[in-house]
Amino acid sequence: MQQINCPVCEIKIGSDNSIKIYTDKADNQNYKLYHCDNCDLEFWNPRKIAPDFYIDQAGGLYDIRHDIGFKEPPYWTNTFFVFFKKNNPNLNLRDLSLLDIGCGEGSFIKKVKTDFKKVSGIDFDKKSVFVGQQNNLDCQALSLSVAATEMKEKFDVFSFFEVLEHQEDVKGFFDNLKVLGNNNFFILGTMPNRNRITANLQHNTDTGDFPPHHFIWWSAQSLKFALEKYGFDNIVIETYGDLSLAYIASCLESMMLGSVTSKLKDKIKKIFTKKELKDYSNAMTVEELGKFGNDKKNDLILKILKFVKNLPFYLPAMLFKKNFERENANLYFEARYKKHLNG
DSSP 122-134: E-S-HHHHHHHHH
Q: Tens digit of pLDDT for each residue in 180-238?
A: 999 999 999 999 999 988 787 778 767 889 999 899 999 999 999 999 999 999 999 99
Calculated CA dihedral for residues 50, 158, 234, 6, nearest 10 degrees:
10
Q: Tens digit of pLDDT for each residue in 290-329?
A: 877 788 898 899 999 999 999 999 988 888 777 777 778 8
Alpha helices (runs of H) in the chain, residue ranges in sequence order: 51-52, 61-67, 79, 85-87, 107-112, 126-134, 144-150, 170-180, 199-205, 220-229, 245-271, 286-291, 296-310, 314-326, 339-342
Name the band, by pLDDT with cuts 50, 70 and 90, for residue 60: low
Q: What is the pLDDT of residue 287?
A: 81
DSSP 8-class letter at 113? T
DSSP 11-23: -EEETT--SEEEE
Name the band, by pLDDT with cuts 50, 70 and 90, for residue 254: confident
Name the band, by pLDDT with cuts 50, 70 and 90, for residue 62: low
Distance separating alpha carbons of residues 79 and 189, to the nearest angstrom: 8
Selected residue with higher pLDDT from 236 and 66: 236
Selected residue with higher pLDDT from 249 and 191: 191
Q: Which CATH class is domain 51-190+229-241+328-342?
A: alpha beta
> CB of 241 within 8 A of CB of 309?
no
Q: What is the pLDDT of residue 73?
A: 86
Given a cut of 60, is residue 52 above it in pLDDT?
A: yes
Given a cut of 80, is residue 3 above it in pLDDT?
A: yes
Handedness of CA 5, 9, 13, 15 (dihedral sign): negative
> CB of 129 within 8 A of CB of 141?
yes
Among residues 57, 61, 66, the alpha carbon closest in space to that of 131 is found at 66
Q: Tens digit of pLDDT for each residue in 6-38?
A: 999 999 999 999 999 999 887 889 999 999 999
Q: What is the pLDDT of residue 332?
A: 97
Among residues 272, 242, 262, the alpha carbon closest in space to that of 309 is found at 262
Helices 245-271, 314-326: axis angle to 10 degrees equals 120
What average pLDDT does range 81-103 have in this prediction?
96
Measured CA distances, 10 to 42, 149, 233 (Å): 13, 25, 21
Rounded to the nearest 5 degrees, what angle is found at the Cα of 121, between the Cα atoms of 84 and 176? 85
Among residues 141, 137, 138, the alpha carbon closest in space to that of 125 is found at 141
Q: pTM score, two decimals? A: 0.87
Selected residue with higher pLDDT from 39 and 246: 39
Query: Which residues are CB-contacts of 245 (< 8 A; sequence separation ≥ 6)?
Result: 314, 317, 318, 321
> CB of 137 within 8 A of CB of 111?
no
Question: What count of other Cβ atoms lies within 10 Å of the Cβ of residue 107?
Answer: 23
Omega into 46 within 30° of 0, i.e. cis?
yes
> In the chain, which residues fall in CATH 3.40.50.150?
51-190+229-241+328-342
Selected residue with higher pLDDT from 127 and 56: 127
Q: Which of 95-99, 110-114, 143-147, 246-250 has the lowest mean pLDDT?
A: 246-250
Identity (one letter) of the amino acid at 342?
Answer: N
Burial class (CB in 10 A: 0-12, 13-18, 19+), 68: middle
Given a cut of 70, is residue 59 above it in pLDDT?
A: no
What average pLDDT does range 263-275 have in this prediction?
85
DSSP 8-class letter at 191? E
Q: Tens digit of pLDDT for each residue in 97-142?
A: 999 999 988 999 999 999 999 999 999 888 889 888 998 999 999 9
Given a cut of 90, is residue 286 above it in pLDDT?
A: no
Coil, strand or helix: which one is 241? coil
Coil, strand or helix: which one is 283? helix
